[in-house]
Copies of this chain bind each other. A is one copy, B any other.
Amino acid sequence: MSKNDSISMSVIRRLPRYYRFLCELSDQNVERISSTKLAKIMRSTASQIRQDLNCFGGFGQQGYGYSVDGLKKEIKKILGLNNRYNTILIGAGSFGAAIVKHLDFEKLGYDLIACFDNDKDKVGTKIGELTIKDDSELDDFCSKNKVEVVILCIPKENVENILDKLYGFGIKNFWNFSHYDITSRYNDTVVENVHLNDSLMTLCYRISNA
C-alpha cells in the first residue's frame, strides 16, 4: 500500500496536530503554506514537517509550498477520517456521558450506536438519542450488530471480565479511559489508553520540579 510501510508512532501521533492546524488555516482562508511558516506557527521545525509528510507522499510543490486545503484533505484521508465505525460506550456514568457529548464523534468517523451500564438507575435514561441499556444485553447486542470500536469508561475492577467478553466477539479496537492497561492483556488489539491520572501525575512532577 503506497509508501506507508511501518510509519513510526512518533509520526502518526503528530498527524492529528497537523490536521488541527491546517483546519484553522483553512478557516482563516489561507490558501498556501510553506513548511517553514507552518513550523513557526506550530513550534516545530520545517525539516520535521517535510519529513513527516513525505512518509505518505509528496504533497507539496517546489517553490510554492503546500496547498492548505489539499494537504488537509490528504491528511484526513491518511488518518482514515472518511471511514465510519460502529461504536458503543460501556460505562455511561457522568464521565462516559460527558465524553460522548463533548467530542465530535460523528465528524471523526465514529457512529455511536449503543450505550451500556450496570447501574439499574441509569438503565433506561438517555444520552442524546440513545437509551442506556443494561450490561446484560451486551452479549445479545454484540452478536446481532457489527461493533467495531468500544469506549470503556468503567472501573478497573470490571475491565477484565468485559474485555474478555468483547474480545470473544472479535472486537479489538478500544478507546480506554479505565485505569487499566488493556495492552497488557492482549497484544493483537488496537488500543488508545487515555490515562488521565497519569497526565495529572506528570503535571505534578513538572510543577514540583520546575
Contact = CB atoms under 8 A, between A and B. Distances in A.
A202 B195 CA distance: 15
Contacts of A210: 190
Interface string A196-207: 111111111111
Nearest to A196: B103
A138 B181 CA distance: 38
Given A85-B207, A207-B149, A108 B13 contact: no
Contacts of A173: 203, 207
Interface residues of A, number: 60
Describe A's contact surface by its main secondary structure: helix
Interface in A68-121: 78-81, 83, 85, 93-95, 97-99, 101-105, 108-110
26 contacts: A1-B209, A4-B209, A12-B206, A15-B201, A15-B205, A17-B181, A43-B183, A43-B184, A43-B187, A78-B205, A80-B207, A80-B208, A80-B209, A81-B201, A83-B204, A85-B207, A93-B102, A94-B94, A95-B101, A99-B196, A103-B196, A103-B200, A110-B200, A175-B203, A190-B206, A192-B200
